[in-house]
Amino acid sequence: MLILGLETSCDETGVALYDASVLARGAPAADGLLAHRVHSQSDLHAAYGGVVPELASRDHVRRIVPLAREVLAQARRPIEALDAVAYTEGPGLAGALLVGAAFGHALALSRALPTIGIHHLEGHLLSPLLARPAPTFPFAALLVSGGHTQLMRVDGVGRYLLLGETQDDAAGEAFDKTATLLGLGYPGGPELAALAEQGVPRRYALPRPMLHSGDLEFSFSGLKTAVALLVREAGGAVREA
């Protein structure tokens, strides 16, 4: 079964071609990935200091068809060989998601193919199966992004147990807002990580929330506030995050 996958949940347009027949043969899941392409919108949003939903949607419209053609060409497969079209149905930016869903359904309708709506976070949870070697069920997974921080137990496809999650800000949100407080460019995460590699460990005392809470929950809002106070005390210009 040859599946064209579409990802347009935020600021990256992703297209991949996957041969699911490898799973029936018992081969590694990674063998099924025939081709994939990703276009990042980082440069587009840099001037605004964050993702602008309308701009993201318009860029997905421009990129998704050329990327799909490139992926099929890279895999040397004609469009007639497709058996299904999968697309991200959420969570994500509404307009951006609509681009992938509309293109996916239009393509599927034109070829009389089934469509498969994919939960964005489930895709993240199962992506380690494409690694070599792939983890075996059950395994623990930490979902960390701008909108989510969740610790999950993955018992199988469609079988997940939430072990803990953030009680306020997501780790990625705190990371990005800390970069903003420090006046770093967008995306600030990579630049902040690079600066951390050059820093002096334990030079500043920052809180480690819920370290002794007795559960597996997270909290990052206090850490973000502590960074803001530290920057202000150091005489830096704190920008609103």
Question: What is the rounded CA–CA span in Å between residue 25 and residue 13?
Answer: 30
**pLDDT of 122 higher than 50:** yes
pLDDT of residue 11: 95
Taking only Cα atoms into account, the Rg of the chain, rounded to an integer number of angstroms, comes to 20
The average pLDDT across 198-213 equals 88
pLDDT of residue 135: 96
pLDDT of residue 237: 52
Assigned CATH for 171-234: 3.30.420.40
Residue spans per domain, the chain: 2-130, 171-234
pLDDT of residue 150: 96
The average pLDDT across 193-204 equals 87
pLDDT of residue 236: 61
Confidence of residue 140 (pLDDT cuts 50, 70, 90): very high
The average pLDDT across 159-184 equals 91
The average pLDDT across 210-224 equals 93
Question: Whole-number mean pLDDT of the chain?
Answer: 93
The average pLDDT across 126-140 equals 95
Stronger pLDDT, 184 or 215, i.e. the higher one: 215
Establish whether the linkage from the previous residue to 91 is cis, with ω within 30° of 0: yes
Domain 2-130 matches domain 171-234 at the CATH topology level: yes
Confidence of residue 61 (pLDDT cuts 50, 70, 90): very high
- The C-alpha angle 21, 37, 104, rounded to 5 degrees, equals 65
The average pLDDT across 35-41 equals 98
Stronger pLDDT, 237 or 206, i.e. the higher one: 206
**pLDDT of 124 higher than 60:** yes
Confidence of residue 200 (pLDDT cuts 50, 70, 90): confident
Beta carbons within 10 angstroms of residue 20's beta carbon: 13
The average pLDDT across 28-53 equals 94
pLDDT of residue 240: 46
Question: What is the rounded CA–CA span in Å between residue 6 and residue 98?
Answer: 11
pLDDT of residue 219: 94
| Record: fold of 2-130 | Nucleotidyltransferase; domain 5 (3.30.420)
pLDDT of residue 37: 98
Residue 153 forms beta bridges with which residues?
A: 140, 161
In SS3 terms, the chain reads as CEEEEEECCCCEEEEEEEECHHHHCCCCHHHHEEEEEEEECHHHHHCCCCCCHHHHHHHHHHHHHHHHHHHHHHHCCCHHHCCEEEEEEECCCHHHHHHHHHHHHHHHHHHCCCEEEEEHHHHHHHHHHHCCCCCCCCEEEEEECCCCEEEEEEEECCEEEEEEEECCCCHHHHHHHHHHHCCCCCCHHHHHHHHHHHCCCCCCCCCCCCCCCCCCCECCHHHHHHHHHHHHHCCCCCCCC
Question: What is the rounded CA–CA span in Å between residue 95 and residue 11?
Answer: 11
